[in-house]
Structure 1
Amino acid sequence: MPDIDMTVTANDGTPLAGTLTLPDSAGPHPAVLLLHGSGPLDRDGNTRRLPMNLGPSLAAALAAEGIATLRYDRRGADATPGTWRAAGFTGNRQDAADALLAVAAHPAVRPGAVAVVGHSEGALHAMALAARHDVRAVVLLAGYARPGEDALRWQARSIASSLPAPLRLLRRPLQAAGERALARIKQTRTDVARVAGLPINARWMREMLLHDTRDDLAAITAPVLAVTGAKDIQIDPADLDEIHRLVPGGAEVHRVPGLTHLLRQDPEHHTLRSYRRLLREPVDPGLLTLTATWLARRLDAAPHQTPAERRTTS
């Protein structure tokens, strides 16, 4: 399973440093563009405090099914230059579109056989790419079907309700503080602003709050697989029903028992405080298998075979 350094040149000239993982079998291969969640994430979906390690796990599962994977460092993360707080939501989407065109044009990739997989924020951009570009299939891991502000408010209520009982007593003052911060963000006009004394990616927030994913979902004609964990406290699992309703022809949806926003299973009571414990565990193998096998069928992928297996089937 060779990894190849691949740089995507964004439309403003920024080099997005990435990795193209190829199957061991002879190409050209179908391919997947992998889009991660929010923040200064590297190509593997990691920050120092939140090592998701989704990239290597999913790339290995896809390579075993004969599918290549491109993933890249966000602006201001690892080997990609820039400042992540100054990158807007629509700018992230444009970077994803540039990466999609780049992987589709790579000589190791089979023409017309490119899919998009997105997690969290990446799922929102995957919806947009599938609505606007020629993709063979799209996988949405923890994506929502509503305006961004509604999704943010649901997330705040969900996280608050998962807090220990003593902290839940502070729900009202915390909610009031959140409303003040939200109002301040909406009034900003700069890429980066200070809210409650902290620098935030204000342009990203303003654009995300206004973005309504339902428009993109209704414009997708490619096959869609949508997966959200039943224990996701950041994305409402009930949005799977709306995704299925909105996508023309319907989407295949899975609400996975025990699965969290981190794409790990949690058998215990799940809160934000569980994240550090869960990140010591691997990405859920069942999720990886579901994603890889579903994509293999849609992309007509040839799984990796050993020499003995090739002699048997030839």
Structure 2
Amino acid sequence: MKKSLFLLLLLPLVTIAQDAFSKKNAQKPTEDLTEVNINKNIQGTLLTPDTYEKVPLVIIIGDQGAVDRNGNERRTKSNAYLQLADSLLTRGIATYRYDKRILTQIKNRKPSDKTLFSDFIIDAKESVYFFKNDRRFSKIYLAGHGQGSLVAMLAVDKNVDGIISINGAGQSIDNVIVQQIAQQQPGLDKVAAETFERVKKSEKPVVDIERDLYVIIGPQVQPFMKSWMQYDPATELKNISAPVLIVNGSKNRQVDATEAQLLKDAAPTATFEIIENMNHVLKTVGNDEIEASKSYINPNFPLNQRLLELITAFVK
């Protein structure tokens, strides 16, 4: 199995248990507060422009894995979300970005194997609830990156004024994975498709798994994967009436730009663009693959400016 497959399909192997939001214990935001911990699962950073006028708030929802509020995980340090938040701040837009609950529990040395995809939706909804009555903000937008794109779609309610899908898939995750495997190891994709179907239909963990697929759909991650692959992003997007911005990058090697087109087909009125030379971690790269790989580990690699222009225009 090629190592690149596991980089593309990296899934959280250590997860944590759901913790319902409690209004009684919620911390109220204050004017000078940048560290905002909504509850023990949602710990993040709020950046607000220095102005007396109301400004839009963009809540950034991270990609899959134990991703921190800056867009990094154990193997990468792109600082993509930190750069995005800092850049939007200079454009008069507030942001809230938070660590994925998986990472928060690992930090607290309380990992669990009970986290489901629905827990990420809960976290996004609770973030909206926390800020919905904050008088500093004129509107609230959800900006989901990668896996966070689907989370944003499922977290939309009457308090959300629009969603931004950044490099999100347009079909269920099992179909995305099967297509990726087909490109890298033809033949294994058929085994993967059959395995996903067995897992979907089985009430108990499926233990007879091809070795090369174990990290993707082994018994340990099956509960989480089953809770994730039940959702079809294109179908979910059809049910959203709020304004939508859909973007992907022409240099995205993890989620192909065709996925964004599937979303656009589901939401014809959405603002849509395939951003030239943007990769999965929102950086501007060229044709040199070695140089482009540095964008995942170099926190100073420049953020794509067209992405900033699109988000700013959409939000304002």
2:276 aligned residue (243, 257, 262): 257
Give CA deviations for 1:132-164 in whole Å, capped at 9, x if unaligned: 443212111011222232222223334x1xxxx
Task: Give the whole-Å Cα distance in 2 for the aligned partners of 1:147 and 1:188.
Answer: 18
Amino acid at match of 1:116: L
- Asked if 1:87 corresponds to 2:115, the answer is yes
1:50 corresponding residue in structure 2: 76
Task: Give the whole-Å Cα distance in 2 for the aligned partners of 1:84 and 1:68.
Answer: 33
Extract unaligned runs of 5+ from structure 1.
Answer: 161-170, 298-314
Extract unaligned runs of 5+ from structure 2.
Answer: 1-30
2:221 corresponding residue in structure 1: 201
- Asked if 1:4 corresponds to 2:21, the answer is no
1:119 corresponding residue in structure 2: 145
2:164 aligned residue (114, 119, 139): 139
- Secondary structure class of the residue paired with 1:238: helix
TM-score by length of 1: 0.75
Give CA deviations for 1:3-34 in whole Å, capped at 9, x if unaligned: 6111123xxxx441111111122254321110
Higher strand share: 1
> Against the structure 1 CA distance between its residues 188 and 227, is the aligned structure 2 distance closer, same or farther, given a 3 Å change threshold?
same
Describe how 1:1-314 pairs up with structure 2 within 5 A.
4-9=34-39, 14-78=40-104, 81=108, 82-83=110-111, 86-110=114-138, 113-130=139-156, 132-158=157-183, 160=184, 171-172=185-186, 174-175=188-189, 178=192, 182=196, 186=200, 196=211, 200-247=220-267, 250-268=269-287, 270=289, 276-279=293-296, 280=298, 282-297=301-316
Task: Give the whole-Å Cα distance in 2 for the aligned partners of 1:268 and 1:156.
Answer: 23
Paired residues, number: 276
Amino acid at match of 1:17: Q
For residue 240 of structure 1, report the CA deviation from its aligned partner. 2.9
> Against the structure 1 CA distance between its residues 55 and 284, is the aligned structure 2 distance closer, same or farther, given a 3 Å change threshold?
closer
TM-score by length of 2: 0.75
Give CA deviations for 1:240-279 in whole Å, capped at 9, x if unaligned: 33322322x6111111222221222331254xx7764222
- Secondary structure class of the residue paired with 2:149: helix
Amino acid at match of 1:251: A
Task: Give the whole-Å Cα distance in 2 for the aligned partners of 1:194 and 1:62.
Answer: 48
Amino acid at match of 2:269: G
> Against the structure 1 CA distance between its residues 77 and 99, is the aligned structure 2 distance closer, same or farther, given a 3 Å change threshold?
same
> Against the structure 1 CA distance between its residues 76 and 244, is the aligned structure 2 distance closer, same or farther, given a 3 Å change threshold?
closer
CA RMSD of aligned residues (A): 3.2
- Greater shift, 28-37 or 284-293, is seen at 284-293
- Secondary structure class of the residue paired with 1:26: coil
- Secondary structure class of the residue paired with 2:132: helix
Task: Give the whole-Å Cα distance in 2 for the aligned partners of 1:74 and 1:190.
Answer: 27
Task: Give the whole-Å Cα distance in 2 for the aligned partners of 1:90 and 1:268.
Answer: 38
- Secondary structure class of the residue paired with 2:102: coil
Task: Give the whole-Å Cα distance in 1 for the aligned partners of 2:279 and 2:81.
Answer: 17
- Greater shift, 221-230 or 84-93, is seen at 84-93
Identical-pair percentage: 21
Asked if the contact 1:185–1:205 (Cα under 8 Å) also holds between the matched residues in 2, the reply is: no
Task: Give the whole-Å Cα distance in 1 for the aligned partners of 2:208 and 2:295.
Answer: 31
For residue 100 of structure 1, report the CA deviation from its aligned partner. 1.4
- Greater shift, 251-260 or 196-205, is seen at 196-205
For residue 62 of structure 1, report the CA deviation from its aligned partner. 1.6
